[in-house]
Structure 1
Amino acid sequence: MGEKLQFTELDQYLFGQGTHYDIYRKLGAHPTIQRRKKGVYFAVWAPNARSVSVVGEFNNWNTQANPMKKVGPIGVYETFIPGAKVGDLYKFYIIGYHGEELYKADPYGNEAELRPGTASRIADISDYKWKDTTWMKRRPEFDEIRDPMAIYEVHPGSWKKHEAKDEDDPGFYNYRELAHELAAYVKKMGYTHVELMGIAEHPFDGSWGYQVTGYYAPTSRYGSVQDFKYMIDYLHRNKIGVILDWVPAHFPKDAHGLANFDGTAVYEHEDPRQGEHPDWGTKIYNYGRPEVKNFLIANALYWIEECHVDGLRVDAVASMLYLDYGKKDGEWVANKYGDNKNLEAIEFFKHLNTVVLGRNHGTVMIAEESTAWPQVTGKAEDGGLGFSLKWNMGWMNDFLEYMKLDPYFRKDNHNKMTFSMTYAYSEKYVLVISHDEVVHLKCSMVNKMPGYPEEKIRNLKAAYAFMLFHPGKKLLFMGQEFGQLREWSEERELDWYLLNEKPHQDLQEFVKTLLHMYTKYPALYAGDNDPDGFEWINADDAYRSIFSLVRKSPTKRNNLLFIVNFTPVDRPDYRVGVPKKKQYKLIMNEHGLLEKPEVFKAEAQECDHREFSFDYPLPGYGVAVFTY
């Protein structure tokens, strides 16, 4: 509840410039008191509407009861409705430009009716009492270049489920239940962050949340906006960062959504060659329109500033940067220079990242960008896009191609595992094995691996160890840590029952050991973007499919030597070259941590083009980690 709300001349000016960064405090539905009456202030942008009114539970959905008044030339409509209250459902009833009748959900609504309902729900976003002060005070000190990031990618609706009460009950966990279960699991495993899919409201479960209709509303599938804030709060109190998937690339055509909002193209381009994705059947935002840019940038700030989220993973960046993305000749329009770069989207990213990161030190903006676009993580003032980090799709594709091969053929594809180091410092990377890799008949991670079940698990342990020692932040999709056998489906929970079987327990324990090792040793993260932090011992042992490398700590203490064998062949006579004549302490092998580390002394014997070396009997699919 607050002071009398109205859409002022200053609001109109800033919104028209695209710089009204807390516009969500004005547009939408806000409980307040006016002339001593409790009620709700409503405001909506519908520049080409003939008229707009609010319909809802408070007026029996009567289209005549609460007409809105147009304020200023920009096309914002406002009204105050006494007696409307938190929890009531509502929509905007719009007579469109061509006289059509439209019933639209609130683009700035903070809560929505549970699907299949499509109305917005009045919420009060100001009445949550945060308890994560310690986290928020320390957040500005977080530095994604220098600090560890091990991200657990989670789809909340299918991580865990309750027994369904009836066929209409999807068995979802509430945000509050999820907070407690997820925090306990993530802490135990050693992840530093969770990345949540499908949080913004969306009509269709099968879109996984990538076709958004309520950008300012955490989905009601798992509870209210207060429940959502509780989850973030609780994760923070358990020292876990929260990243959300965010989808500014496109939106669906659902009748209650943003498409054709007032009978004209408001949020999208009018020309279908600019305003539609033929492959996805969705609309493309008009990034050149200030009010549209404002809608999206303020939305990013809403999640980070109002909901305390620590970062956004921006989906489908490539589809925004290229005008011809997924399009044939004649289906797109070139820019003023005659090429395929979306100049307005480039400016949008620079503006977005500069504002979000400039106002919120210690947060991250992560690009899911699948091409070789230069300087995605370069500074905006130097011609970059200004992202903090970029998903390393090149590494992921090569890595998975290699791991799928029968070990016999890996020797001919050795460069797939080493090539990524030729461009490892061109951007600031996250190594990802995301939900996209375990759907659409691509197989689960464990079933991508060659061999019998036991061999698949050994392969996967070696693969995860290699991923951990390769420079870059880490992301694993839920279920991959214990060897989920089936592909992921949003319709069912993960196959947790597999943890009754020893191979899956062993894999989970191995991943846990790797993650705790990752956060313990600065050598594994502090030098991710420093060429001095990584060194191959032998990158060319293709015939035996063995890789050896060193990760160096910025303090020079607790450097790590790593060896991995990607064939089932034991190498009892294996010898490894080392950087210095020191003692090398074996702390972990393919079975996990050693209770008592074993010491190996380097001798003056040339190996791997180095003066010093030592013998280590390397088993098939062996993993060895030494500190020195």
Structure 2
Amino acid sequence: MAKKVVSSSDKTSIKDVEPLIEKVSVAKKTVSVNTKSVKQTEVQASQDVVQSSPVSTELNTSHLNPVEVYSRFSDFDINLFKAGKHHKLYELFGSHTLDYKGVTGTYFAVWAPNAQVVHVIGNFNGWNKNSHQLFVRWDGSGIWEGFIPHVGHGETYKYAIKSFYGEELEKGDPFALRWEEPPRTASIVTHTYHNWQDEQWMKKRIQHNALTKPYSVYEVHFGSWARSPESSDQFMSYRQMADVMVPYVKDMGFTHVEFMPLAEHPYYPSWGYQITGYFAASTRYGSPQDLMYLIEKFHAEDIGVILDWVPSHFPGDAHGLFRFDGTSLYEHEDPQKG
């Protein structure tokens, strides 16, 4: 039975995986894959607001099937994945908007080796558990995938998984780049494109991280550091923090700021330690691009950014990684051991 331990090589990244200091950038059947007619598109959308498309009764008016057989995985990717040595799986798993045969849609890929069947459900199909079934790969990798036409940026979705034992589960995407704001629990189709403006700082970053120089770190729990000036019940956004926290940290003389976990977590009092979305910055405070903006502002003042990454506080939320395909896929079978 396939198992996986989440490793530090799979950590969340917005601008490529970096060292410790820096950013947060059915029937099982054989299928043949054609990737030649596909081109990747970078969908530019609002950085601040994600709006889900309304339910449509005419989703697919093109010549394509509701779910097309398609893969972004090469044989080399699969070999690395099986060996546990693929360090950029976030570029393949999850949801990715693209054009296929002249039609814009979204490619979905999820690892569920012990599932009988996997469907994608969301606003786009009225959360129908029987309408958009993914295809399992022929190579024994346990990957389910497919291209769904006309599903684009801002769509909310989950995976409806029927386990080997017949249990029916609804799970968020382990590789989602954005989630609904808690207490809602769906994943969101999005992108992390950003026109970075910190090239000069990145070139000289090694000087800031050098062991020959002293450094001081200001550790922050984002949600409790300050509240919105409009209401004490509202969090400050990433962009609001850029105007307040950056000058404060600079005036205090710190060389780095360290954020307690910002990866998506449903339970706020956990301080971010009970993570369900390792590849998504918390939507409580804004969009991925908003966080990138905050990081750029720190860099502009020669302040490095450290992001805490915590795999040890494994939560048991039903929509998360816990017993993802009906087995302990991402966790130890014995909760006392991992």
Pairwise TM-score range, normalised by the shorter structure: 0.7 to 0.9
Structure 2 match to 1:43: 109
Q: Secondary structure at the match of 1:90?
A: strand
* Percent of residue pairs bearing the same amino acid type: 45
Q: 2:321 matched to 1:261?
A: no
1:436-493 per-position Cα deviation (integer Å, ceiling 9, x unaligned): xxxxxxxxxxxxxxxxxxxxxxxxxxxxxxxxxxxxxxxxxxxxxxxxxxxxxxxxxx
* Distance change (3 Å), C-alpha of 1:116 and 1:143: closer
Q: 2:296 matched to 1:233?
A: yes
Residues in 2 aligned to 1:232 and 1:160: alpha-carbon distance in whole angstroms:
17
Which residue of 154, 158, 163 maps to 2:224?
158
Residues in 2 aligned to 1:96 and 1:40: alpha-carbon distance in whole angstroms:
24
Structure 1 match to 2:267: 204
* Distance change (3 Å), C-alpha of 1:266 and 1:131: same
Are the equivalent residues in 1 in contact too, given 2:259–2:306 (CA < 8 A)?
yes
Q: 2:254 matched to 1:191?
A: yes
Q: 2:288 matched to 1:222?
A: no
Q: Secondary structure at the match of 2:115?
A: coil
Residues in 1 aligned to 2:222 and 2:305: alpha-carbon distance in whole angstroms:
13
Q: Secondary structure at the match of 1:11?
A: helix
Residues in 2 aligned to 1:264 and 1:56: alpha-carbon distance in whole angstroms:
24
Which residue of 211, 233, 252 maps to 1:145?
211
Shift of 1:159: 0.9
Structure 2 match to 1:109: 176
Q: What letter is aligned with 2:156?
A: L
Q: Secondary structure at the match of 1:51?
A: strand
Residues in 2 aligned to 1:128 and 1:197: alpha-carbon distance in whole angstroms:
23
Q: Secondary structure at the match of 2:97?
A: strand
Are the equivalent residues in 1 in contact too, given 2:178–2:281 (CA < 8 A)?
yes
Residues in 2 aligned to 1:67 and 1:86: alpha-carbon distance in whole angstroms:
20
Q: Which has the larger radius of gyration?
A: 1
Segments ≥4 residues shifted beyond 2 Å: 140-144
Residues in 2 aligned to 1:226 and 1:18: alpha-carbon distance in whole angstroms:
30
Structure 2 match to 1:75: 142
Which residue of 26, 34, 40 maps to 1:2?
40
1:239-258 per-position Cα deviation (integer Å, ceiling 9, x unaligned): 11000111022310100111
The 5 Å alignment of 1:50-129 reads 50-71=116-137, 72-125=139-192, 127-129=193-195
1:520-571 per-position Cα deviation (integer Å, ceiling 9, x unaligned): xxxxxxxxxxxxxxxxxxxxxxxxxxxxxxxxxxxxxxxxxxxxxxxxxxxx
Are the equivalent residues in 1 in contact too, given 2:208–2:304 (CA < 8 A)?
no
Residues in 2 aligned to 1:243 and 1:144: alpha-carbon distance in whole angstroms:
15
Q: What letter is aligned with 2:227?
A: K
Output the TM-score relative to the length of structure 1: 0.42
Residues in 2 aligned to 1:132 and 1:22: alpha-carbon distance in whole angstroms:
23
Which residue of 202, 213, 227 maps to 2:276?
213
Are the equivalent residues in 2 in contact too, given 1:5–1:32 (CA < 8 A)?
no
1:338-378 per-position Cα deviation (integer Å, ceiling 9, x unaligned): xxxxxxxxxxxxxxxxxxxxxxxxxxxxxxxxxxxxxxxxx
1:53-100 per-position Cα deviation (integer Å, ceiling 9, x unaligned): 111122111112211001120100101111111111111110012111
Residues in 2 aligned to 1:188 and 1:142: alpha-carbon distance in whole angstroms:
18
Q: What letter is aligned with 1:184?
A: P
Q: Secondary structure at the match of 2:280?
A: strand
Q: Secondary structure at the match of 2:152?
A: coil
Are the equivalent residues in 2 in contact too, given 1:91–1:104 (CA < 8 A)?
yes
Which residue of 276, 288, 292 maps to 2:336?
276
Are the equivalent residues in 1 in contact too, given 2:265–2:282 (CA < 8 A)?
yes
Are the equivalent residues in 2 in contact too, given 1:28–1:108 (CA < 8 A)?
yes
Which residue of 98, 109, 113 maps to 1:32?
98
Residues in 2 aligned to 1:48 and 1:118: alpha-carbon distance in whole angstroms:
23
Residues in 2 aligned to 1:246 and 1:142: alpha-carbon distance in whole angstroms:
21
Output the TM-score relative to the length of structure 2: 0.77
Are the equivalent residues in 2 in contact too, given 1:202–1:219 (CA < 8 A)?
yes
1:578-623 per-position Cα deviation (integer Å, ceiling 9, x unaligned): xxxxxxxxxxxxxxxxxxxxxxxxxxxxxxxxxxxxxxxxxxxxxx
Residues in 2 aligned to 1:49 and 1:259: alpha-carbon distance in whole angstroms:
14
The 5 Å alignment of 1:4-23 reads 6-23=72-89
**Matched residues, number:** 271
Residues in 2 aligned to 1:34 and 1:9: alpha-carbon distance in whole angstroms:
20
Shift of 1:188: 1.1
Residues in 2 aligned to 1:142 and 1:162: alpha-carbon distance in whole angstroms:
32
Are the equivalent residues in 2 in contact too, given 1:91–1:119 (CA < 8 A)?
yes
Q: What letter is aligned with 2:130?
A: Q
Shift of 1:140: 3.1
Residues in 2 aligned to 1:199 and 1:241: alpha-carbon distance in whole angstroms:
16
1:162-195 per-position Cα deviation (integer Å, ceiling 9, x unaligned): 2565xxx831111111122111111111111110
Residues in 2 aligned to 1:276 and 1:219: alpha-carbon distance in whole angstroms:
28
Residues in 1 aligned to 2:195 and 2:124: alpha-carbon distance in whole angstroms:
28
Are the equivalent residues in 1 in contact too, given 2:261–2:310 (CA < 8 A)?
no
Q: Secondary structure at the match of 1:47?
A: coil
Residues in 2 aligned to 1:66 and 1:155: alpha-carbon distance in whole angstroms:
40
Are the equivalent residues in 1 in contact too, given 2:111–2:144 (CA < 8 A)?
yes
Are the equivalent residues in 1 in contact too, given 2:107–2:148 (CA < 8 A)?
yes
Are the equivalent residues in 1 in contact too, given 2:40–2:98 (CA < 8 A)?
yes
Are the equivalent residues in 2 in contact too, given 1:6–1:78 (CA < 8 A)?
no
